[in-house]
Structure 1
Amino acid sequence: MGDNVETPDNYPKLKQYDAWCRRVDEITTAPGWKALNDVAAEEGLIAIGYERRYKEYSRVYQFAKQYLYAPSSAMYACPLSMTDGAARVLELIGTEEMKKQYYSRLISRDPAKFWTSGQWMTERPGGSDVSRSETQAKLLDPTTNTWSISGFKWFSSATTADLTMLLARSVNTQNGTVKTGSKGLSLYIAEMRLPNGQLNGVRVHRLKNKYGTKGLPTAELELNRMQAKMLGKPGRGVPCIAAILNITRIYACLGVVCSLRRSLAIAKDFAGKRQAFGKRLDQTPLHITTLADLELVFRAGAQLAFYCIQLLGRTECSHHGSSSNNDNEDMVILRFLTPIAKAYVCKMGVTACSEAMEALGGQGYMEEIGIGRQLRDAQVNTIWEGTTNVLAMDVLRVMRETKGQCLLTFEKVVKDKTKYAKAIFKDDQTTSKIIQAIDTAMQNIKKFVASSSIQENKAEVEANARQLTFALGRTLAGTLLLEQAAFDTAHDLKDAEEDILVAQRWCKAFEFTKPIIPVGPYEIQEEARIVFGHDAKI
């Protein structure tokens, strides 16, 4: 189905006018697109997470199925991620009417009832900076909470979804003014079509011509008096979408892991068949080393992604009103970790997909091999839901909001997991060196954060945000790989020895124990001149 959707003849098409010059804005997709929707519903790819049949592990089961589905789904995982996020927001703050009307459909296993949701946040002035959003909402009927929304959404994925969540500025009904900045934004939910089947105040200006995700309809939309309902409290739109971002960022993270898994599987299979210079590639030391590095990136990415998923399941299943230390710790680390994991896993994973393509030589560059599509589709995950720089700034934001508590919680998680491993391995020298490397990496992070120059200079903090984010990502990845090896050893699983090697190799590579060298004010000014010329100033 996914391959059928991804052929040029089956790419989404936009028909703006009918034979009588009436505006219809009809988007058509490949037949396989609908089939992918039906499979997602029947397999419970959203429902599993909300039925919670397996309690906190329901999310792990759900995302394990997503892991199998995503590489062959022609990016149908994108509307599923936004549907999942929308379901969670409705579960948390939706009215009973909204839950009956929308939530029940978003989590349905019946393809005839199942709905997907879009997420329209991005506008022309701001991109990731939603505080510059221009879309406005006017109250039509306070008794039914009906609003009229007008504006322009510049990048709207899953444009064929049944409903959407979007941000808009509420117009003051008394004086016609609107609040500027992110605090003036509220969250709204709207159906794509009216009961008569016509579009609900939506005009599709054009479909985006994208580098990848070709089967996924993405459009520029003009909203002209779109009927919607406010979700949550006025002016709380940005905090309300935090639940969506936690989920969609995890989908993005897992999406790259899936693409790398598929690309690496192709490269490994090819290595067992391809003869070069008298040897098969799987008998060539340099080629083996290259594939081993890719395997490490994959395993580290999978550990980070599924740790986020585990935390998501635990936080969702914690007792209502509970304020236990474990619950608070999970919530803090999940909020801190989602931008770290997405930034690090997506950046490392896309590079690894490119390396997997190269491992097949010229054959890897051929479209029909399949790595090209995986690479293009993986690339968008470094951009969706926040670019690497936006995510790095978000890491700093969480540190400020929690007054550094998130870093203390992060350190505690690392210590608890290494303590577990130490209890399993006792005085084993190999694993002791791994634990020592993890401890060194953690100390490097603490020294970097505590350095006086970083604390006092805002420009310096921002310039070094990527370094910090990546250091946190690779340190936790090493910790999780060690924990996996300890678990396998404790349960006498056959992969234990291999997993110890993986953890050992990870903690010896990728600059794991290298101190973080801050970029200072002078270097920042130098970099500005290198990029923008000798007159550049910041």
Structure 2
Amino acid sequence: MGFAQDPPQLAHPYRDDRVLHAMLERALPPARRGALDPDLQALGDYAQAAWQRAGRTTRRKPVLTQWDAWGNRVDRIELTEAWQEGPRIATAHAVLASGHEAGEHARLEEFARVYLYHVASEFYTCPLAMTDGAATALKASGNRMLMERALPRLLSRDAATFWLSGQWMTENAGGSDVGRTETAARQDAAGQWRLYGRKWFSSAVVGEAALGLARPEGAGPGTGALALFYVETMDGARRRPELVIDRLKDKLGTHELPTAEIHLHGLPAWPLGELANGVRQVAPMLNVTRTWNAVCAVASMARAISLARDYATRRSAFGRPLVELPLHAHTLADMQAEFEGAFALAFEVAHLLGRVEQGDAAAHEAALLRLLTPLAKLWTGKLAVKLCSEALECFGGAGYIEDTGLPQLLRDAQVYAIWEGTTNVLSLDSLRALAGDGLAALRTASEGWLEGGDDAAASDTIRQALDAAARWLDRHGAARDMLEAGARGLAFTLARCAAAALLARQATWAGARGDRRPAAALRRFVGHGLDRLVSPAADDTALLLG
């Protein structure tokens, strides 16, 4: 019989994740840590079982049936097994509801659950993120009627009463340019608002509710005239006839997630607040969904690295296991260091979100959250693609074979850089976050994270990179075109500086307990460089595009 290769085995996503354990031990009071543990154990068990199940079955895409046998429009979507299990898993373990409890650690605990559940959920976390964002926007609106109607459902811990909410923003004419929204809101004879138009990208179409942007009848053009509306999509067990699903999109990745193009033909709707400034009302939702995006990107990195590391102990080449080959081991260590930096930044944003929401934040932390949220989302989105690609390469040809389940990691990773704002959109958003006090909040936070650290060289490198970023801003601040052209390099630099300072904090904490691995991650991460600043030449840009 010929050679047969052992496939990679997935280490337990919770019990064997030292980075997650160390963060939780450092950040959470012991009582909260103990209360959280059963949910994390269960979600880790589910994730490991889901990986094993995926190896035995052919992954399916959702199927849309638009008409029944008798000519009735039904728009019924058949979901994958993981999606059918989603309401039970998410509510039983408070994957979403826990983030809306009292206490500054609520969001941190929520996103620890999200991190463990995400990959196994087959992107059921996408509508969960939309639902979390909708609940947050409803709370911020102060609309008591809608809050009393929707929040008990959106935050339910019972699958029988749980509702998903979509987020309907994107249209054919404009993605990030929401000012070109064409969906119209009109009042009927009874005074009920109704929506008319087409939404081009609806990732939670199987839900029971949604928040969507529309232009009230008679309102002027532009973004400021848009209003934010709440809608319900179901009439009992039947989809409302005013909501028509045109088709499901055939995407590069996230195949199990039913992403739809829809038409609205007078769907009943309720404004969250004033009939204007809807984009401003969306802002609380985006802070939440972008944090979900960052944590889910980090979860995909963790899965890819875990499998690659295990495979390196099973696959032999040139007479030795891969893990014993110096260059392969060096590559895996590089991946691990970058992952630990991304993990530290994503979970700091999660913790900051909870502190700000609960009113427990220090004076500089609201501004810090405003800056780090787009930075974490854009950097982790790009890094997930890079690390998942590198992980597939660690498997050689097997990484390119569909039925190993590995290519799915790379295809899915590409979405993180696109959803909730592309890299360029968020780079420009980070410039807006710096418009007030510049780097003051990040400098204040970084000094706190570096305090008491043992690695003076790393601390100096972080401070020098922040100084370089400040000089770059001073040099280009008056030249808007140059500032925007270099915004991506600035964003990556600031994200890496923040991640490095957070790694330094973790290394100090772990070193006092005899664990030298976070210090090694810090050294290697800083060794990869922090400064990504560029000053693009406008003439060269014009020539290259001419």
Q: Same fold (TM over 0.5)?
A: yes
State yes or no: 1:202 paired with 2:234. no
Tell me if the contact between 2:146 and 2:272 (Cα under 8 Å) persists in the aligned partners. Answer: no
* 2:186 matches 1:113: no
Q: Does 1:128 align with 2:176?
A: yes
Q: CA deviation at 1:5?
A: 8.7
1:385 aligned partner, one-letter code: E
Shift of 1:8: 6.1
The residue number in structure 2 matching 1:81 is 129
Could you tell me how far 1:337 is from its partner in structure 2?
Answer: 1.1
Instruction: Point out the more displaced range, 88-97 or 270-279.
Output: 88-97
Shift of 1:455: 2.2
- Secondary structure (helix, strand or coil) at the match of 1:64 reads helix
Counterparts in 2 of 1:507 and 1:32: CA distance versus 1, 3 Å: closer
Letter of the 1:72 partner, please give it: A
Are residues 382 and 517 of structure 1, via their aligned partners in 2, closer, same or farther at CA, if it must alter by over 3 Å? closer
The corresponding residue for 2:452 is 421
Per the TM alignment, residue 45 of structure 1 is displaced from its structure 2 partner at its CA by 0.7
Correspondence 1:84-483 to 2 at 5 A = 84-140=132-188, 146-171=192-217, 177-195=218-236, 197-318=238-359, 326-400=361-435, 402=436, 405-418=437-450, 420-422=451-453, 425=454, 431-451=455-475, 454-483=476-505
Q: 2:517 aligns with which of 489, 498, 520?
A: 498
Cross-structure match for 2:79: 29
* Alignment partners' CA distance in 2, 1:231 and 1:179: 19
Deviations 1:46-76 (A, max 9, x none): 1111123xx1111111111111111111100
Give yes or no for the alignment of 1:519 onto 2:536.
Answer: yes
Letter in 1 for 2:205: T
1:206·1:219 contact (CA, 8 Å) conserved in 2?
Answer: yes
Q: Structure 1: how far apart are the matches of 2:354 and 2:100?
A: 10
Structure 2 vs 1, CA of residues 196 and 37 (structure 1 numbering), >3 Å: closer, same or farther?
A: closer
The change in CA–CA distance for 1:5 and 1:357 in structure 2 (over 3 A counts) is closer
| Distance apart, 1:35 and its partner CA | 1.1
Match of 1:428 in 2: none
Distance 2:362 2:497 in 1: 23
Does the 8 A contact of 1:440 with 1:513 survive in 2? no
Q: 1:141 to 1:407 in 2, by over 3 A?
A: farther
Aligned to 1:46: 96
Gaps of 5+ in 1: 172-176, 320-325, 426-430, 530-538
Shift of 1:129: 1.0
Sequence identity percentage? 36
Shift of 1:271: 0.6
Per-residue CA distance 1:136-193 (angstroms, 9 max, x = gap): 10123787xx31100100010021011001000111xxxxx32211101111110012
Paired with 1:331 and 1:141, the residues of 2 have a C-alpha distance of 44
Instruction: Give 3-state SS (helix, strand or coil) of 2:257's partner.
Output: coil
Instruction: Check 1:317–1:141 CA distance in 2 against 1; reply closer, same or farther (3 A cut).
Output: farther
Gaps of 5+ in 2: 1-48
Give the alignment's TM-score, normalised by structure 1. Answer: 0.88
Bigger relative CO (Cα 8 Å, ≥ 6 apart): 2
What is the CA deviation profile of residues 411-458 of structure 1, one whole-angstrom value per residue up to 9, with x for unaligned ones? 22112222x134xx3xxxxx111111011111110111010xx22322
1:441 corresponds to which letter in structure 2?
A: A
Q: 2:189 & 2:367 partners in 1: Cα distance?
A: 39
1:379-437 deviations in Å (ceiling 9; x for gaps)? 1111000111111111122233x3xx14221122112222x134xx3xxxxx1111110
SS of the equivalent of 1:308 reads helix
Contact preservation (8 Å) 2:82, 2:122: no
Instruction: Give the aligned length.
Output: 496
**Which amino acid is 1:410 matched to?**
L
CA distance in 2, matches of 1:521, 1:376: 34
Distance 2:82 2:323 in 1: 37
Report deviation, 1:200: 5.0
Q: Distance in 2 between matches of 1:190 and 1:8?
A: 35
Where 1:225 maps in the other structure, the secondary structure is strand
Instruction: Give the conservation status (yes or no) of the 8 Å contact 2:298–2:380.
Output: yes
SS in 2 for 1:161: coil
Amino acid aligned to 1:35: E
Show the counterpart of 1:532: none
Q: Is the 8 A contact 2:88 2:159 kept in 1?
A: yes
1:500, CA displacement in angstroms? Answer: 1.3
CA distance in 1, matches of 2:426, 2:460: 29
- Counterparts of 1:464 and 1:127, CA distance in 2: 22
